[in-house]
Copies of this chain bind each other. A is one copy, B any other.
Amino acid sequence: MLNEAPDLNLLFHALADPWRRAMLERLSRGSAPVSELARPLPISLPAAMQHLGVLEAAGLVHSEKLGRVRTCAIQAKALGRAERWISARRVEWEQRLDRLGDYLRTLEAEGENDGSRD
The interface of chain A, by Cβ under 8 A from chain B, is 1, 5, 8-9, 11-13, 15-18, 21, 24-25, 27-30, 74, 76, 79-80, 82-83, 85-90, 92-94, 96
Q: A99 — nearest CB in chain B belongs to which residue?
A: B30
Contact A16:B12 (CB < 8 A) given known A82-B86, A86-B83? yes
Count of identical protomers in the assembly = 2
Interface of A is mostly: helix
Q: With both chains docked as a complex, state the minimum distance between the C-beta of A74 and any C-beta of chain B, in angstroms.
A: 5
Contact A89:B96 (CB < 8 A) given known A5-B18, A9-B16? no
Q: List 11 A-B contacts (CB under 8 A).
A: A5-B18, A5-B21, A8-B15, A8-B16, A8-B21, A11-B16, A12-B16, A29-B92, A29-B96, A74-B89, A79-B89
